[in-house]
Amino acid sequence: MASSERSALLTYRLCGGSGEDERGRERGRAAAAATPRKLPTFLGVVVPTLLSMFSVVLFLRLGFVVGHAGLYQALAMFAVAYFIIGMTVLSVCAIATNGALDAGGAYYMISRALGPEFGGSIGIMFFLANVCGSALYVLGLVEAVVDSFGIPPGQEVGSGIHVLPQSYWYELLYGTILLALCLVVCLVGASIYAKATFLIFLIVAGVLGTILVSFFATRPLGVPIRMPHLNSSETENGSFTGFSLATLRENLGGGYGVDYTTGQMMSFSTVFAVMFNGCTGIMAGSNMSGDLKRPSYSIPRGTISAVLFTYLVYNLLAFLMCATCNRTLLQKDYGFLRDISIFPPLVTVGIYAATLSAAMSNLIGASRILYALARDDLFGRALALAKKTSASGNPVMAVILSWLVVQLVLFSGKLNTIAGVVTTFFLLVYATVNLACLALEWASAPNFRPTFRYFTWHTCLLGIAGCCVMMFLISPVSASASLGFLLILLLALHYLSPSSTWGYISQALIFHQVRKYLLMLDVRKDHVKFWRPQMLLMVQNPRGSARLIDFVNDLKKSGLYVLGHVELQDLDTLPSDPLQPQQDSWLSLVDKLNVKAFISLTLAPSVRHGVRQLLFTSGLGGMRPNTLVLGFYDDAAPQDSLAQHPAFTSTREELPLGFPPLRAAATPKLLSPREYVGIVADALKMLRNVLLVRDLESLDKVWELRRAASPPPSIHVWPVNLLRPDSARYADTCSLFLLQMACVLNMARAWRRARLRLFLCVEAGAMPHAQEDKLRQLLKDLRIQAQIQLVPWDGVVRLHWQAPRGPPGGPAPAEEEEEAVNFPPNTTQVSDEYVCAANKMVLEQGPAPAVRFLYLPRPPADTGLYPLYLRQLELLTRDLGPTVLVHGVSAVTSTQL
């Protein structure tokens, strides 16, 4: 069963991923998976966790905690600390039982749950926490050795067993020697480490039993305490009173004093920081996940058992100490357990063994995390050396690198100095473990099915809150610095690390929230005040439409933007869907062009049928395209603008693959004029607004909008139906929609320098100033800033083959207004001569703008007139440069708040 647990959930790859680096990572994982796992639950999880949690705090600092905090506050500290780690243990158990585990412990869990950015950054933080923890335990062991064998301060030569000189450099030397011993054991491998820790566990268990017996068997005695100063030694007397109600009462309340090793005044937060180091070993078993026979089985059972046992022991010992030892003894003699023991040498051996085991545990844990980080290639070549392993699979280079970092930390010199930093690092890691479990639970992913069920999102949230609060209570500076360092790592990994196949929890959370809010987005509650354009841009080949894609991105105004494409094939005749291989190319195009768009591809027998499909099916719920955008239908040869686009010319990357070459000028089009106009008619029947965009590929937006020219670039707006001069009005639905689109473009960041120029076509005797005042008032009501320019067009109107049916330049009669809205205008009422004159009139209004917005009339009801309609549009927009023909069918403006 162990082999099946370690197997991947899927033995084949669902998504692509090629290259030598990826193959190298796969070979590394296969080699690691082939390494036999030997450790059972007790040796692999329970023993390392117990030894890591007992170690320094149990033998050297528990009396210090109780002496300063008193029994009540000490019990409160234990309750808070174990509440925090209890919530974290529940999260660890949930993640550990949700799938196969590999080497890396907490790093592996977090990285596979939250993705490479969080996993890599927390992996580094957890590595540093274990490194500092190893240094902490080595310093604790040095302190115990010097206390037993050191020459007393003020003496040059020792006597008896007190033969070791005491100074900063000597203690650093002792720490280096002890750390080298840990290195040798860890280099041999996890198997010898497990055997060594089991032997140490037996010693510690015997010492713990001796200590418990000593509280009852030792008679009251006085304990002389040497108080080290710079050049002298002062002695105080502590007392072991045996069980005494007076002693217990004296020790119930807090009595914070000065720590005699650092000279700092103690407080609840500083004492808690020291005490919490006795709780940071809960990951010792998880760190061995790559060496366990059944990690998903062993980690929950072993960790919970060890945590419950240590909690009971700490509370029992705290009560016994408060009932038998006075405050002076507890505060100022770190090694008082040896002084009151019935067999002092055994306590000394226990202290040495437990702290040495904890140092080894943290060192081997740090090496496993570093090895996992290196194997995942999150930091590239920076950790390449840590990948090297021995023939048995032991990551020897990771062990050596971890040993070097621990050696650097040893220069800090004092145990209490780095206790706060270690605690902050571990709390941050524990908070992230809870965050990983909370994110998985909130994402409601079907594949999050842990067999450990004793957790909820409430426990995860409480664990996060507890960790964060205690971080800042212990050391606001260390907590802020740690979070800042974590943020820097997150950003660096986000931009520099390779993509992974682990999955990203952010995508699952986004999906969950988007689905919820889409259900809340009720189309029945739409209001014109909050209307926004939601674009469907049809693209035949992106190579010829790069600037059009970018332009429509400016027009969307935070609305939905969909790039649609129709592939003319029949799925019945194909072995598989041809659109799936194209999807990645389109997504890469969107990324490179930096447009906020979705991709919608479809198969259809004709372009018109494909556009209908996309209009019917694109979007979801209240987020559906309300505006169709098409490139103009003309005879111009397509130009490959993608190759000249700044997004590609500024990098050495190749153009996206999967896009065919552009159609040659002599090659017939896939779309006929009749079908093209039919698409416009279909969209209007489906109550979609329509934009036809011509010559956009000639628009150099960067040059046009940033040139230091006077006057600034302009946007020309013609909100009148130039092909229907007999019913020209400026306040119908289509005209207002045209104004809105021009205003939306002007609101885009890249277009804010441009100025709107609104052209009012007037005829003699039609009171042009009155019309101008009405239009100016309309613009004021709509909060649109634009310059109005009067354009006499009597000469153009005279060319109209039929006399106007209403007063020249005036509004149409009511019945004709209704006809103009509900029935398509008869475009055959104008001649080519008139259309050319209208084109010339538009062209003469200089200086040349960046883009023009013109009124797009409805297609004729008679489909036989479609080619004539398209020809008139071509004549109207000929040589105008970048032009947008607009027809709106929905109300989009509001004069109210």
Residue 234 is given by DSSP the state E
Instruction: Look at residue 189 in the predicted model and tell me its pLDDT.
Output: 67
Residue 218 is given by DSSP the state S
- Rounded distance between C-alpha atoms, residue 757 and residue 868, angstroms: 30
- Rounded distance between C-alpha atoms, residue 737 and residue 627, angstroms: 11
- Rounded distance between C-alpha atoms, residue 547 and residue 696, angstroms: 7
Among candidates 283, 263, 260, 279, which has minimal Cα distance to 470? 279
- Rounded distance between C-alpha atoms, residue 632 and residue 548, angstroms: 11
- How are beta strands 233-240 and 221-228 bridged, if at all? antiparallel
Among candidates 562, 631, 644, which has minimal Cα distance to 885? 631
Instruction: Look at residue 32 in the predicted model and tell me its pLDDT.
Output: 46
- Rounded distance between C-alpha atoms, residue 762 and residue 757, angstroms: 16
- Rounded distance between C-alpha atoms, residue 258 and residue 222, angstroms: 22
Instruction: Look at residue 2 in the predicted model and tell me its pLDDT.
Output: 37
Domains and CATH numbers, the chain: 41-496 (1.20.1740.10), 705-802+828-896 (3.40.50)
Kindly state the helix (H) or strand (E) to which residue 691 belongs, with its residue range. strand 689-694
The whole-number mean pLDDT for each consecutive block of 10 residues of the chain, a chain of 897 residues, reads: 34 36 47 57 85 75 89 92 89 80 68 76 84 84 81 64 79 88 80 77 89 90 67 68 90 85 81 78 73 82 91 93 90 83 86 82 84 81 80 83 89 68 82 85 78 86 90 84 86 72 73 84 78 91 88 88 92 86 87 90 93 91 90 84 68 59 80 94 95 87 65 88 75 87 88 88 75 84 86 82 41 38 48 90 88 93 91 93 92 67
Instruction: Look at residue 822 in the predicted model and tell me its pLDDT.
Output: 40
Instruction: Look at residue 707 in the predicted model and tell me its pLDDT.
Output: 62
- Rounded distance between C-alpha atoms, residue 693 and residue 881, angstroms: 10
| Number of alpha carbons in the 13 Å side-chain half-sphere of residue 726 | 19
Give residue 277's identity as a one-letter amino acid code.
N
**CA 773 to mean position of chain CA atoms:** 53
* Beta partners for residue 690, in sequence order: 628, 887
- Rounded distance between C-alpha atoms, residue 431 and residue 466, angstroms: 8
- Rounded distance between C-alpha atoms, residue 138 and residue 295, angstroms: 28
Tokens for 287, please give them.
């760190």
- Rounded distance between C-alpha atoms, residue 317 and residue 322, angstroms: 9
- Rounded distance between C-alpha atoms, residue 122 and residue 175, angstroms: 28
Among candidates 801, 802, 807, which has minimal Cα distance to 833? 801
Instruction: Look at residue 895 in the predicted model and tell me its pLDDT.
Output: 60
Tokens for 729, please give them.
């009005």
Contact 600, 611 (CB under 8 A): no
Give residue 546's identity as a one-letter amino acid code.
A
- For residue 304, CA distances in Å to 282, 326, 452, 623, 845 come to 9, 34, 12, 48, 81
- How are beta strands 689-694 and 883-887 bridged, if at all? antiparallel
Among candidates 566, 506, 505, 556, which has minimal Cα distance to 534? 556
**CA 784 to mean position of chain CA atoms:** 39
> Looking up tokens 């740090």, which residue turns up?
366
Q: How many helices (H) and strands (E) does the chain have?
A: 32, 12
* Beta partners for residue 630, in sequence order: 692
627: helix, strand or coil: strand
- Rounded distance between C-alpha atoms, residue 722 and residue 830, angstroms: 10
CB atoms within 10 A of CB 534: 21
DSSP string for 28-44? HHHHHHHSPP-B-HIII
Contact 82, 307 (CB under 8 A): yes
* Beta partners for residue 184, in sequence order: none
Instruction: Look at residue 439 in the predicted model and tell me its pLDDT.
Output: 82
> Looking up tokens 């200086």, which residue turns up?
847
Contact 612, 536 (CB under 8 A): no
Exposed/middle/buried for residue 126 (C-beta within 10 Å: 0-12, 13-18, 19+): buried
Instruction: Look at residue 448 in the predicted model and tell me its pLDDT.
Output: 79
- For residue 393, CA distances in Å to 22, 196, 582, 660, 688 come to 20, 19, 42, 49, 64
618: helix, strand or coil: coil
Instruction: Look at residue 321 in the predicted model and tell me its pLDDT.
Output: 92
